[in-house]
Amino acid sequence: MNGQMVCSECGEPAQESSPADWIGAWGTPPGWSHLDGSSLCPIMGGNGYKPCQPEALR
């Protein structure tokens, strides 16, 4: 394992940085985003959609 993190939904590289497209009304921004600054891919959570969590590259 090389420590690289990826979006658990699409497999694109992830960075430990809040997404640039996050709107404050959505609450506290997540700590991870795609390399282009967009939110990680959405998944269905208990209160609607939310960004997925990153995972280590396998």
Q: What is the pLDDT of residues 1-41, one digit of tens each?
A: 468 999 999 999 999 999 999 998 888 999 999 999 999 99
Number of domains in the chain: 1
Nearest to residue 9, comparing CAs of 17, 47, 28, 38?
38
User: What pTM value is reported for the model?
Assistant: 0.86
Per DSSP, 32 falls in state -
pLDDT at res. 1 = 44
Nearest to residue 38, comparing CAs of 17, 57, 54?
17
Is residue 27 within 8 A of residue 36, CB to CB? The reply is: no
User: Which residue segment(s) compose the domain that 52 sits in?
Assistant: 5-56
N residues, the chain:
58
